[in-house]
Amino acid sequence: MKEVIFGNPDQFAIRYIPGYKTEADRYYYAFLHLILGGQIIGDPEEECFLPTWLNEVKRINREILDTNVLSSKEFTDRTDKEFIESASFTIDETTDGWLIALIENEGFLKFIWKGLRSPCPEERIGEVYSTVVKREDVIETINKCVTTVEKEFPTYQLKNNAC
């Protein structure tokens, strides 16, 4: 399976490897991971349940499009550590080893993340990281990824036949 990186992995990107569907229930799975500041968030070998992942990423994208949701005076004057302790999100089980937060400020988005537990690498547990990205770049990355995944997943092979 071919890995595709949408966006700039040094700032914000999404890693995608096409997945498979199961025979019994026809559920779809793929390998989708955020890449923040050069770090893959989650276990690169862990697949996600595609409907959950897509719905959560679309929800996050809607919040990014509505600048009132991610920008607030209460966010100013807080350190990254204080902010992430009070306002974090998850996408699915692929991000459950990390706390992730997002703030909008004058056309830029600041991603803040903190290693929480395994599958986060042990040396990153408890550490807080951040990266600042143009809002438009994040929207474009998410849209390209979602469009590609929604186009490709109906063609996924059954798990028994997947490569």
Residue-wise pLDDT for 53-82, tens only, equals 999 999 999 988 887 666 666 656 777 777
How many structural domains comprise the chain? Answer: 1
Burial of 114 (0-12, 13-18, 19+ CB in 10 A): buried
**Predicted confidence (pLDDT) at residue 136 exceeds the cutoff of 70:** yes
Residue 161 lies in a domain: no
Residues 12-32, mean pLDDT to the nearest whole number: 91
Report the candidate in 59, 9, 39, 7 with the shortest Cα–Cα distance to residue 119.
39
Amino acid occupying residue 123: E
**Statement: residue 163 has pLDDT above 60:** no
Flag whether 10 is in a domain.
yes
Q: Considering the domain boundaries, does residue 163 fall inside one?
A: no
Please choose, from the candidates 92, 114, 115, 104, the residue with its C-alpha nearest in 3D space to the C-alpha of residue 138: 104
Is 75 a domain residue?
A: yes
Question: What does the pLDDT read at residue 17?
Answer: 96
Between 26 and 8, the higher pLDDT residue: 8
Residue 38, pLDDT > 90, answer yes
Cα distances (angstroms) measured from residue 128 to each of 58, 79, 116: 25, 10, 10
Tell me, yes or no, whether 50 lies in a domain: yes
Is 97 part of any domain? yes
Alpha helices (H) in 71-114, listed in sequence order = 80-86
Backbone angles phi, psi at 162, to 5 degrees: -70, 145
More confident residue, 41 or 80: 41
Is pLDDT larger for residue 38 or for residue 96?
A: 38
Measured at the alpha carbon of residue 69, what is the angle toward residues 64 and 70, in degrees to the nearest 5?
65
135: pLDDT strictly greater than 90: yes
- Provide the residue range defining the domain that includes 9: 4-155
**More confidently predicted of 100 and 162:** 100
| pLDDT value at 161 more than 60 | no
* pLDDT category of residue 91 using cuts at 50, 70 and 90: confident
Report whether pLDDT(134) > 60: yes
The pLDDT of 72-97, averaged and rounded, is 71
Is residue 160 situated within a structural domain? no
The whole-angstrom distance between residue 120's C-alpha and the CA centroid of its chain comes to: 14
Q: Write the DSSP symbol of residue 66.
A: S
Q: What is the pLDDT of residue 24?
A: 74
The percent helix, strand, coil of the chain (3-state, each to 5) is: 35, 35, 30
Distance (Å, whole) CA 136 – CA 107: 8
More confident residue, 138 or 101: 138
- Backbone φ and ψ for 137, nearest 5 degrees, come out as -65, -40
Q: To the nearest whole number, what is the mean pLDDT of the chain?
A: 87
